[in-house]
Amino acid sequence: MSFDKDLLDTLMEFNEKNSPKFTLYINDNAYDATCTTITNSSIPVNEPTTRGGAYFSDKFAYKIKCTVGDLSIVPLLTKQMLGPNTEFGELKITTVIESDKGPATVNIFANLTNSVQTLSFVELYMIIVKLESF
């Protein structure tokens, strides 16, 4: 997974200092995402490896956690997560950040690794696989 490290650093810094609006897209439906954190953390493998023959995992990955208040998203998640499927469905998350060059729209593409549902929201845990900016 290679992406523009400077863009990722700018996104992480902007997210820490501000509360940008994020939008998550699944099956052409848009969902507001809040309380988003972006971190670089370790993965429980000793060396880079292909996990279960389905996806590649490095020793560290950039992870994003989103909270979605619209519970209508729940039935759509099983088609996005490895487990019931042999492939991850890539999720698209968009936001607008301020950079040295002015406002920039950032598209974040991520694999869903876990979700936790409560009575009022769903927390989504994802690994970032690609970034685009324009």
Give the tens place of pLDDT for each residue, 55-76: 555 567 899 999 999 999 999 8
Q: What residues contact residue 21 under an 8 Å CB cut-off, 6+ apart?
A: 32, 95, 96
**pTM: predicted TM-score of the whole model, two decimal places:** 0.83
Q: Where are the domains of the chain?
A: 5-133
61 φ, ψ (degrees, to nearest 5): -150, 155
Rg of the chain over Cα atoms, rounded to whole angstroms, equals 15
CATH topology of domain 5-133: Pnp Oxidase; Chain A (2.30.110)
Instruction: Answer yes or no: are the C-beta atoms of 56 and 62 closer than 8 Å.
Output: no
pLDDT in tens, 22-36: 999 998 899 999 877
